[in-house]
Every structure is written in C-alpha cells, then in structure tokens.
Structure 1
Amino acid sequence: MSIGFIKQALNSLQRQSRRHTPHRISQWFKWLSPGLAIKRWLIISLGGMVLGFLGLAIWIRLTPIFWATLLIRNFLGKITDTVPYYISGPFVMVLGLLLLVWGQTRTVSSITEVIRPNADEELVDVLLAHRRLYRGPKIVVIGGGTGLSNLLRGLKTYSANITAIVTVADDGGSSGRLRQEFGVLPPGDIRNCLAALADEEKLLTELFQYRFSVGDGLSGHSFGNLFLTALSEITGDLERAVAASSKVLAIRGQVLPATLSDVRLWAKLADGRRIEGESSISKAGGSIVDMGCTPANPPALPAAIKAIQEADYIIMGPGSLYTSVIPNLIVPQIADAIAATDAPRIYICNIMTQPGETEGYSVAEHIQAIDKVCGRALFNAVLVHKTSPSARALIRYSQSNSHPVFLDREDVTKLGRRIVLANVMHEDEDGCVKHDSEKLAKVLVRWYTGAKV
C-alpha cells in the first residue's frame, strides 16, 4: 500500500465530523461491511483491554472477579432504583458505544490533521474501493504505443492486479536517441504505461510526461524517459528501474518489458525488401509478409512469464499490429506461455487501418498476421468496434490512405474466433479516432465476467 494512499485514507476521517448526523451514522455502519477486516480487530482490541485490566488486578493481589461483580451490582442497582432498567440499560449501552466510536474517530482524526488537512473522500469509502480493486481479476495486457496506455487508464478502475507487458523494440524519437547514446532499452512505451496506471499522483504524472522543447541535447526528450534511463544506469537494468518508478508514481499494477534483450525488429515485404528497425517498417511503404527480430528468440523476462501463467484474463492490443502487438509475441517464451494458459484471451482490433502496416487489412487479416508470426492461435475472441466514424473523420483518414477495418464475419468465424461487437470509439473535434478507455474497459470486464461463467 503506497504512502499516498495511507495519507489519503487517514485524512478522510477528519471530514466525518463536519457532516450531518444521518450521513455520519451511515458511514459508521459501513465499517461493518464484509471484507474490511475491521470488526475482528475491534473485538480483539476490546478483549485485550479487558484482559489487561484483569491482569493488573491480579498482579496487585485483588480478587478482580469478586470486586468487579460487586461494583457492577451496586452501581447497576443504584441506577435501576432511580431509572427503570428498560430505559437505563439501553441508555448506558448506547452511551458506551458512542464513546468508543467517538474516541476511535478522534484519535485517527488527530493523526489525519497533521498528515494531510484536505480530503474529498471518507476513509471507509477509500478502504472499500481499495479492497475491491485489489480483489479484482489478474489481468495481463500485451502491446505498446498509445493504444496500450489508453486501455490501462480504463482498466485500472476495475482492478489493481494489472500487468502490462510492453515491447522494447522502439528505435524512434526520444527513446531511439537514448537507445543510441546510452545503450539502454527504449523507455517510451513503458513511461506511458506507468503514467496511465498512476494512482492519483497528478503532479508526478505530468512531470513524467513533460517533454523538453528547448536546450541542446534535451529538446524532444521527456522527463520520464530521462528518469528511467538514469535509473537503469543506477539499478543495472530496466526492470529494476521500472519497479522503482512504480513506487514513485504509486501505480496500480505493474509494468514489465517483454524482454531485457536489445532487440531490433525486421520485416520482409512482398516486393522482397528486408526492412530493419521499428521506426523504418511503417515508413517503407510495402506489404509485410514476415516479421522477426535480431537477435532471434530473445529470452522473456521471467516476471512476465509468471504474470501470464497466473493471469485470469489476457488482452492483446490495441495498437500498431506489426510494431506494438506482434513484437511482444515474437518472444517465444511469451507466446508459449499464452498458448499454455486456459485464461480467456481476447485481441482488440484497431478501428482504422494503419498506413505502412495494415493498409486494406480486414479483421480476419489482422488475426491471420498474428497467427502466422506466432505459428498458432493465441487468442479465442476478437473485439471489434461496430459503428463507422463520422464523415469528417473518414475524409481526414482517407487522405493518408487509412480506412475503417472491415469486419469479414465469415472469415473470422472460420478462424475459430468469437466476435465481440461494441461501441468503444472516441472521436474528438478534429475527427481523430481512438478507443474510448472507459467504454473499452467496461466491455472487456463484462466479456470476461461472462466468459468465465
């Protein structure tokens, strides 16, 4: 549990004393909700207090049971002589409970007031949400680029047991420059996923995503890329650097590189050309017929294999087919681990085709490309957006020879895949199309719930 969460949770108690009485009482009853593990410890605390006083009485050679019984009898006798038992009994009981709750509340409020004076949520609500998230399904998401980070923003509201397995084949932009100059694995996609999974650490997330616009050597670099590069040098590898960054950002789940090998993608085109480098593949302007990496058969990160083996649910995509999704699957151990699991596995097909990679591709052709590279079927369902973008968006994308991915139902069915149709698109004012993170996550969780029944 992160320090940020503890501070937020403690602080919320202070707000309870400022709310009206009915709301406060309803909040108190929430403490009795199943799963919070509060009732048992409260009872144990009271039992310990009673035993402590009993032990003290025995130590000083009193006869505690006799004297306690006599004291209680005399005290209760005087009360019931004055006030009838059916009034005095409930009154004393309620008074005792109120004093106990008030004392506990004020104790934590005093600590809260020092640690963090402002809060918007009640402590019990924060704890219930925390319990729900950390009891969520173990979800493994495989991909890269902006598509993966966009999906993670939606999924983290349903589960904190998320593992993002990210490609490290990027060789363009800031990541490519750092890779060339420092010999480190490209941190860009990992940085985006860390920021997407960050738990209410707004300032730190903005800092991680901040990109320098001026300065010799700094222009074009993001702070997060530089931070991960420095941590990689200090800790010895990218895996440890990501783990340290995860603590700083208080992320829900974990982000893992697919491999720690310095892999470089290559693609064979239909015209016989062999293109090397992730950033060059989509610029080559040809039809991709085969794909691999150098060195061949890189070893997978053991933690990534373990996450796949323990997963309740595996999601591939969305993202660039040949430069974000497939690069993870050409790590043989990852493909083997996915094929061996019985967990539901779904591929999220892109909404639009991508120039230089999937021009003219249908849904079935996306699936066939993955099957061909991996040599087997790794997923049993495909999620497809079912409505067309606006005319404005179609015109915008057609200028770069990009069009909606056509759903060829019969061919997909022949490939043995179940089709999941849903409206999961977000279109902005400029006609840019992408998956809506909230809608997409909701559909995926709903499908998983139905698939496991």
Structure 2
Amino acid sequence: MSISPLKEALRRLNSEKSRLATMRQRTPKRVNRWFKWLSPGLFIKRWLLISLGGVFLTILGIAIWVKLTPINRFIELVSQLVTTLANIIPNSVSGPLAVGIGLFLLLWGQSRTVGSITEVLQPEGDQELVDVLLAHRRLNRGPKIVAIGGGTGLSTLLRGIKHYSSNITAIVTVADDGGSSGRLRREMGILPPGDIRNCIAALADEEKLLTELFQYRFQAGDGLSGHSFGNLFLTAMGEITGDLERAITASSKVLAIRGKVLPATLADVSLWARLSDGRLIEGESHITEAGGKIEEIGCTPSKPAALPAAIKAIEEADYIIIGPGSLYTSVIPNLLVPEITKALAKSKAPRIYVCNIMTQPGETQGYTVADHIRAIDQVSHQRIFDVVLAQKIAPSPESLKRYAQENCHPVFLDREDVSDLGCRVILANVMDEDEKTGYVRHDPYRLARVLMRWYSRKENRKIS
C-alpha cells in the first residue's frame, strides 16, 4: 500500500493548522487596531459623534419639513416588517442576529474606509495609519526643545531627540569656512549651509535616504567637484527664496522635517582665535589646523545680530540643550551672538550642556570637563547652564590606543572643580564605539533617552 495519500492528508492537516493559527494571530491584531481608533488624543471619537449627530439632525429636519408624512409611512412599514419577523423568528434569536449583522456592517464599512484612506496617505508604508496618527499626536505634545551647536554633534543629538518631540528648534552656527560650504561662501556670497544641511537631514523622517542624498559629493565636473548635493540644494533654495532663513523654511516644508532649523545669525560671521604663543588665527577651518592652545576666541563682526526667530525659540523653550560638538568651532560660535547668550541666561527652562567624550587636537587638547565649562563661561560672561552630562565609561583599550596616536584622550571628569563652578554632573553611558574604526561618538538614541529621562524627572519634581 502506498503511503502517499497518508502523507498528503498529514500535509493538508498541518496546512490547515497553520492557517487557523495565522487567523488566530491576525484576529486579535485586527481587533486591537480597531480599538486603537478609540484611543484618547486622536480626536476621532468626538468628530464621529458630531457627524452622527449631524446626520440625525439632518434627517429630523427633513422629516419636520415634509410634515413627517414619509417618516410615518416608513415607521409603519418597519413596524409591520418587525412584527412579521417576530412571528416567524423568536425575538431572542432575531434581535441578537440583527445586532450582530449591524455591528458587522458597521465595522466592515469603517475598516474599508480606513483602508482606503491608508492607501492614499501611505501607499508604501509599513505602519498602520492609526499608529502613525498616535505617534504624530504624541510628538506634537512633546516639550519645546532648543538644541544649540553645530557640526556632527548637533545632528547626532537631533537624530535621537526627534523621537520624543516634534517641537524642536536647532540653532546652528554659521561660521564654517572650509570645504564645500567655504567655497560656496566665497564664490556665492552666502552663509555656509553645511551644518544646516546636516541638521535638516537628521530631523527628516526618511533620514537614511535623505542623509545619503544630502551628503553625496560630486566627484567630477567643472565647479561641481567636491560640492555636496545638500549644500547646492540649500544654495539654490536661497537664490529662489531670497535668503537663507527662507530657504531653510522652504526646504523643511518640502522635506517634512520634525522641528525647525535656524541659523544663529544672518551676519557674515568669521571666527578668529588668539593662541597662547601670541598667534592670531583667522577663519574657523584654520583654528584647529594651527595646533596651538586657544586663549581667546571672537568673531568679526564682534556683535552679530541674532535671528529674531532664534531668540523667540529660546524664550519659549521648555528645555535647552547645548552641545555636543567641537567646543570652539561648533558650540561657542553661537554664544558669540550677544542676544543668544543673554536669552539663554534669562531662560527659566532646564539647561544642560553635553560635554564631549574625547579631547580634540587644536581645540581642547588636555581639557577636563571643568575646562570646557570655563571656556563657555569666559565667552558668555555668565552661567548659561546648570547641569553637565559627561560620559561614564571609558572607551576600549583599542580605541584609546588609536586616539593616543592623534594625541586625543577621554575628557577627564574633575568633579570637585565642576561642583565649584556651580554645576551638577550627570554621568551616563551615551557612547557609540565603532569596533572596526575605533572611532568614538555619542550614540543618538542613548543620548536622547538620558536627556529626556532627566528632563521628565525634573518636570515631575516641579509638579509635585
């Protein structure tokens, strides 16, 4: 006797079991999705009830208008039909049956409606529309966060913090004069778009794709070689809209970013630094290359006017984060704008400084955490933050050896000196270490989690 029919029967049985298991998994998920539409904060239930109320009042108004004649006849017809059905089928059966069919039609109609809306709004989306709406509402209710800095440090922070709030304002330095930004600045007479480009990409929903596009550098072509697409995009938008501020606003709308990116000033700022050996170095890109110890830093013009929108964002902020980033060429240039420093000092919002993990040759060689704070205080002439976040765990020995070859070391936490300066210290592991290259950076998601946890605790204490 052949055993093939038995194998076929077993295969079909297993297939049927798998199908039933899949149905059991899908049903709760689908029911759960329906119930999500009743979640608070979506503003769905109130509008649904208002719509039903409108339908009821419309029908009632029409009935009153035509003196109830069609309504009376319709009611009589329904009454006769119900009486006939009750005589044929007991009400204990027909009642629940009618309710069940009604609910089925209602849920079926609603699910098809939601499906049609989802196809239009998210033709290729993996998330359910209700999950997108819930996330959108949650992010819109997030705190008003102002992040100040520049370079890769600020974009790293934004990449993590955007998952906690859409009310983010990034205030970015415009002192860069190297690379593609420097060339555009000299040739086109525009403000350097490089750091702004990085922040826009970091705040975008399609972050990975947009970052790759904005960071793409042309390898050939007269005049194009070395330029990044993002810099050229912002330059073109600036030409179309009239200035960099409008260009950033227009680009943010086109790219649907979470939050806003603002330049600290629209003035053509150029950095200068006086080194301990007496040299005066001009230009942001030349300061680090000079390789000396910075004694004093300033800018030309000496008192650039702040962008009004940046001052307004600081005044309305619930939470202010300064750094991370190169101390003298990314963080401090924002504080050389007097109105920004004054607004930060006056703000009642929690203010925290994220200290760098490693020292930087030509800028912070041999610096401790307290040295970073002193440098900021020296420029601002007043205390603008009361808490500093420092890395808790040292990098691996392999990374330390690699950095030692470049004369870089972990920023030492001199806790007593920091305390004497009037600052609290938060220690946390916010480091991301690349095992292949040995490079150490802030992990955007760990950093954001620590910063938002501290903010939540502070707000809870304020409420209690």
Same fold, TM-score > 0.5, yes or no: yes
1:23 equivalent to 2:29? Answer yes
Taking structure 1 as reference, are residues 152 and 115 closer, same or farther at Cα in structure 2, changes over 3 Å only?
closer
1:440 equivalent to 2:442? Answer no
1:16-415 map, 5 Å: 20-63=26-69, 66-67=72-73, 69-113=75-119, 117-200=123-206, 202-415=208-421
The range that moved more, 179-188 or 241-250, is: 241-250
C-alpha distance in structure 2 between counterparts of 1:243 and 1:256, whole Å: 9
Structure 2 residues without counterparts, runs of 5 or longer: 1-22
The range that moved more, 89-98 or 298-307, is: 89-98
C-alpha distance in structure 1 between counterparts of 2:178 and 2:456, whole Å: 39
Amino acid at match of 1:307: A
Residue 179 of structure 1, CA deviation: 0.3
Taking structure 1 as reference, are residues 209 and 18 closer, same or farther at Cα in structure 2, changes over 3 Å only?
farther
| 2:118–2:129 contact (8 Å) kept in structure 1 | no
C-alpha distance in structure 2 between counterparts of 1:225 and 1:131, whole Å: 32
Residue 422 of structure 1, CA deviation: 0.3
Equivalenced residue count is 437
Taking structure 1 as reference, are residues 108 and 294 closer, same or farther at Cα in structure 2, changes over 3 Å only?
same
- Tell me the alpha carbon deviations over residues 229-263 of structure 1, each in whole angstroms, 9 at most, x when there is no partner: 11112211100001111112111111000000001
Residue 75 of structure 1, CA deviation: 4.0
Residue 159 of structure 1, CA deviation: 1.1
| 2:198–2:211 contact (8 Å) kept in structure 1 | no
C-alpha distance in structure 2 between counterparts of 1:201 and 1:281, whole Å: 31
| 1:148–1:317 contact (8 Å) kept in structure 2 | yes
Residue 202 of structure 1, CA deviation: 4.9
1:413-452 map, 5 Å: 413-428=419-434, 429-452=436-459
- Tell me the alpha carbon deviations over residues 380-439 of structure 1, each in whole angstroms, 9 at most, x when there is no partner: 100000111111111111111111000001000111111000011111121100001111
Question: What TM-score results when the alignment is normalised by the length of structure 1?
Answer: 0.92
Sequence identity (%):
69
Ranked by relative contact order (alpha carbons within 8 Å, sequence separation 6 or more), the top structure is 1
C-alpha distance in structure 2 between counterparts of 1:78 and 1:329, whole Å: 84
Amino acid at match of 1:370: I
Taking structure 1 as reference, are residues 412 and 202 closer, same or farther at Cα in structure 2, changes over 3 Å only?
closer
C-alpha distance in structure 2 between counterparts of 1:231 and 1:436, whole Å: 32
SS of match in other structure, 1:387: coil
Amino acid at match of 1:442: R
| 1:266–1:275 contact (8 Å) kept in structure 2 | yes
SS of match in other structure, 1:444: helix
Question: What TM-score results when the alignment is normalised by the length of structure 2?
Answer: 0.90
C-alpha distance in structure 2 between counterparts of 1:207 and 1:168, whole Å: 22
C-alpha distance in structure 1 between counterparts of 2:122 and 2:321, whole Å: 38
Instruction: Give the aligned partner of residue 4 of structure 1.
Output: none
C-alpha distance in structure 2 between counterparts of 1:187 and 1:400, whole Å: 29
C-alpha distance in structure 1 between counterparts of 2:316 and 2:120, whole Å: 41
The range that moved more, 201-210 or 429-438, is: 201-210
SS of match in other structure, 1:283: helix
SS of match in other structure, 1:175: helix
Residue 117 of structure 1, CA deviation: 4.0
Taking structure 1 as reference, are residues 380 and 78 closer, same or farther at Cα in structure 2, changes over 3 Å only?
farther
Structure of larger gyration radius:
2
CA RMSD of aligned residues (A): 2.0
SS of match in other structure, 1:20: helix
C-alpha distance in structure 1 between counterparts of 2:345 and 2:90, whole Å: 74
